[in-house]
Amino acid sequence: MGSTTTKNKPTTARSRAVLRDVEPGSTVECARCGERVKFQAKVRHKQVICNVYERGKWMRVEHFHSDCYTAAGEPHGEVDTTPVVKARRAAAAPTAAPTLQTRSA
């Protein structure tokens, strides 16, 4: 048990931005350049997803290319790059285990 002294959270929710992988089949458009935030297997694109609050009320979600977000001057605050903790299926095994097939001919 830690002694956290964060009793009072700020009452006004603020906009926040998180960095996420672009998902396959993504159809969102970048709020800055208007281009589709496309998934490309070869390039592991990152997107910035922003929950936009105005006067403490949630208004909308905006997506940005991570580069565009930086270029825009981080309009919704610093990007939270903490990775999502997700129950992942078996970690990708990139290389097949060496199967030694000893064939006695």
Region from 29-37, 47-55, 75-83, 97-105 binding Zn ion, contact rule CB under 5 A:
29-37
> What's the min distance (Å) between Cβ of 79 and Zn ion?
14
Q: By CB under 5 A, tell whether 30 contacts Zn ion.
A: yes
Torsion of CA 55, 78, 5, 86, to 10 degrees: 100
Alpha helices (H) along the chain: 66-71
Give me the least distance between CB of 48 and Zn ion, in Å please. Answer: 9
Return residues touching Zn ion (CB under 5 A): 30, 32-33, 65, 68
